[in-house]
A and B are shown apart, each in its own frame.
Chain A
Amino acid sequence: MIILAQDGTAIKPAVAKAIQNGVPVIAYDRLIEDPKALYITFDNVLVGKLEAQAVFKAKGTGNFAIIKGNKADANADFLRSGMDQVIGDAVKSGAIKIVGETYTDNWDPAKAQTNMEQILTANQNKVDAVLSENDGMAGGVIAALTAQGLAGKVPVSGQDGDKAALNRVALGTQTVDVWKDARLLGKTAGEAAMQLCNNSDPSKVKGTAAFKTPGGNSLSSILLTPNPITKDNLKDVLDAGWITKADLCQGVAAGKVSVCG
């Protein structure tokens, strides 16, 4: 069974039953807290790190806002811990001040927009960079920044390779979109599933490593490497056939971005 769990803890009893009945389970992109499941995902801690790196490169000091995803989703905290690897020292030294940090119910972009508006209001617009954990919420953040005339001036991160977000990277309103090619994830999961059919021990699947979960379990996992897309490597998503040039370059002024001409 390949399962994409909305809530990695709530699904445990169902997964345990499947495994007891000899059905191997693959936790697809979202963690399931069962030691016998095989966890296949892009390395989410790394995604968070890549998001923060790109923003940190653009803006190394000042007031940061952090827009996190759903509290019940382990990814929200993995991403946050990856971000901390990059900005943690600067936060400790006081070079970076976190002026707003919120979880967002259901990763809802509209809620992220409202939260961002309130953070901007509370700080009289003195926000220098925004670490948004995904593209949808980055869209909400950028809508809030646009209303204050700040879009493009404040670096914003995201992930997923959403077409709208890649367009924003080309337009310059979003700094980075960490792209996790879903096709690679699907292919890996499919191959792993075929191997599990022959041998149900997940640790015997090719390319696995042990993974310590926040719940204290150790399970086998395959962590794929994501690709941070910035203005400089937009070519990658075009070459991969992930997005058409028309979608990527909609509204981009001529001569601004090399791939858009």
Chain B
Amino acid sequence: MGATVPGEASAEGAPARSFLTTISSALAPVTGVVRSLEIDTRMLGMIGALIVIWVSFNIVSGGTFLTARNLWNLSVQSASIAIMATGMVLVIVSRNIDLSVGSMLGFLGYTMAMFQAVWIPQSLGLGFEQPFTWVLTLVIGIALGAAIGGLQGFIVAYGGVPSFIVTLGGLLVWRGLIFRYAQGQTIAPLDTTFQMLGGGTVGTRVGALGEWPSWTLGVVMCVAIVYVMISSRRRRRRYAFPVRAIWAELLVGAVTCGAVLGIVLVANSYPLPVNVAIQYAEEHGIAIPPGGLFIPTGVAFPVVIMLIVTLVVTFLATRRRFGRYVYAIGGNPDAAALAGINVRRTIMLTFALMGSLAAVSAAVQTARLNAAVTNLGVQNELDVISAAVIGGTSFSGGIGTVPGAILGAVVMQSLRSGMVLLLVDSPTQDIVVGIVLVAAVGLDAVVRRRVN
């Protein structure tokens, strides 16, 4: 305020206004850059928040937080919530909510565990460890997830019952059904190949890609990202839409690619744990060099699954008619219906997609734990909704992105994992996460109002 011209301050209310003008004029070049990059300001804010969280935890934990090992763990711990958050974005964008995802996850995970640990080996008498077990289990789980998600969506869309009520019912029903299976006994152990989906270790088999496949995945994803950017630029040209400046395209492409390759680099910097490496060396007749054996672990399978799901759902949301419809319905349901969009069918499909993603997460969680337990996924609905909302999805509909939700999930899990590292007890963790949730949305609302 020292720079305010004296004459200005004499008018009533002027100091505040001039302060705002100063800020917005100072921010003008930044806003200009952000505009030409076409990045959501909230997305940038979240990346900033994530960096602050990571660096602070790293300092407080004495350098443990930003080790390859902790980041690898963090990626696996975030994956299952992130996978479901991508679907939750579409559900919330179309002005609905799904409170049943935690229970659906529990029910589907339990069903998949029964399938591979009881029904195939014992009821059908085929025995454990069949080569087809994991695929069959996964396919059946996803199909069942789509079916029960779709059923909820059908009741919402065609029955006209509010989604809050339908999925609140689902929350109770699916959880209750778990107890119908085995009186609530834990189902374990699971098929060893299936366990790989959770990023765990069985003997010397690790649920991760390993060094070179990880790099290959990184490069393939980079190529895919560049291809999508080029094709979208061409399409915009064709319809005479404004396109980004070339430098902006290059910057966005470089940062996105850099992030993907960064994940690969970190994952490859995390070696197999000593005991696993020694066993691996013995089995493969490798001599252990002095100073220990460094075998890169690579990107964990849950993270690979998460990346694939992110690509697929982003593609559905931004490049397919289905996604356009979802955003149109969220923006204005009446206008969407009048424009000839089949609103009911679209809404039903968002719930079916949510159900199948709950099944994917259920596979990841049960595989990771190597067991299905009755409270599998309890309260996950809150984490999933929080991730979507922290990631910029608006409850008023029409606004929200898939990458934002992934970042939201990572932000939340970073807070939790970091606090466990510092031995903060769980009630305090809940307090912090709760405050962050409200602060993130509140801050965003304030910023938006100011900008507009």
Taking Cβ atoms with an 8 Å cutoff, the residues of A that contact B are 71, 100-111, 113-115, 117-119, 121-122, 125, 135-136, 139-140, 143, 146-150, 153, 162-165, 167, 250-251
Report whether A114 and B371 are in contact in the complex, using a CB–CB cutoff of 8 Å.
no
A162 to B372, CA, bound (A): 12
A107: chain B residues at CB < 8 Å are 375
Report whether A71 and B189 are in contact in the complex, using a CB–CB cutoff of 8 Å.
no
> A110-B369, A113-B368, A135-B186 known; 8 other A-B pairs, CB under 8 Å?
A102-B426, A147-B199, A148-B201, A149-B277, A162-B186, A163-B186, A167-B188, A167-B189
Chain A nearest CB: distance from B97 CB in Å? 22
Taking Cβ atoms with an 8 Å cutoff, the residues of B that contact A are 61, 64, 67, 69-70, 73, 77, 128, 185-189, 199-202, 273-279, 365, 368-371, 373, 375-376, 378-379, 416-417, 420-421, 423, 425-427, 430
Chain B nearest CB: distance from A55 CB in Å? 20
Report whether A153 and B369 are in contact in the complex, using a CB–CB cutoff of 8 Å.
no
- In the complex, which of the residues A111, A136, A250 contacts B189, with contact meaning CB atoms closer than 8 Å? A250
Report whether A140 and B425 are in contact in the complex, using a CB–CB cutoff of 8 Å.
no
A108: chain B residues at CB < 8 Å are 375, 378
Given contacts A102-B420, A143-B200, contact A109 B369 (CB under 8 A): yes
Given contacts A102-B426, A143-B370, contact A121 B421 (CB under 8 A): yes
Report whether B276 and A149 are in contact in the complex, using a CB–CB cutoff of 8 Å.
yes
A140 to B128, CA, bound (A): 22
Given contacts A118-B417, A121-B69, A149-B276, contact A71 B201 (CB under 8 A): no
- In the complex, which of the residues A122, A163, A165, A250 contacts B421, with contact meaning CB atoms closer than 8 Å? A122
Chain B nearest CB: distance from A254 CB in Å? 16
- In the complex, which of the residues B276, B373, B375, B420 contacts A115, with contact meaning CB atoms closer than 8 Å? B420
Report whether B427 and A109 are in contact in the complex, using a CB–CB cutoff of 8 Å.
no
B419: nearest chain-A partner, CB-CB: A118
Given contacts A114-B77, A139-B186, A140-B369, contact A121 B70 (CB under 8 A): yes
Chain B nearest CB: distance from A235 CB in Å? 21
Report whether A162 and B185 are in contact in the complex, using a CB–CB cutoff of 8 Å.
yes
A108 to B420, CA, bound (A): 15
Given contacts A102-B426, A109-B373, A118-B73, contact A149 B279 (CB under 8 A): yes
Chain B nearest CB: distance from A144 CB in Å? 9
Report whether A148 and B185 are in contact in the complex, using a CB–CB cutoff of 8 Å.
no
